[in-house]
Amino acid sequence: AQTVTQSQPEMSVQEAETVTLSCTYDTSENNYYLFWYKQPPSRQMILVIRQEAYKQQNATENRFSVNFQKAAKSFSLKISDSQLGDTAMYFCAFMTYNDMRFGAGTRLTVKP
């Protein structure tokens, strides 16, 4: 069965600092996508960043970047220059043609 594991239920970081959220997954598929979604207190899920499994280059979106280690099945999210607005639940997600799985989430608090 395909699984997504986020081992850090809660994390905190000081404003302007860098934080890394961990995610590991398990699958026998070769063609899949990985995502990080953010869910602020307003509860609307927002896509943060997306990585195609066939691409070796790590995805980057402004202050957000990933470290994708396909062999290790690891997909961590690095947030640089953390801002108060980054406070949210962060979900790692995995999608194949027929399935989409989410991790349990990491609650990130950015402190002023």
Q: In the complex, which residues of this chain contact another protein (CB under 8 A)?
A: 31-33, 35, 37, 42-47, 50, 91, 93, 95-105
**Between 87 and 102, CB nearer to another protein:** 102
Gap between the Cα atoms of 1 and 16, Å rounded: 39
Distance CA 95, CA 33 (A): 5
Enter the DSSP assignment of 9: S
Q: Identify which of residues 16 and 100 has a Cβ nearer to another protein in the complex.
A: 100
- What is the distance between the alpha carbons of residues 47 and 26, in angstroms, rounded to a whole number? 21
The least CB distance from residue 94 to another protein, in Å, is 11
CB of 24 to another protein, least distance (A): 15
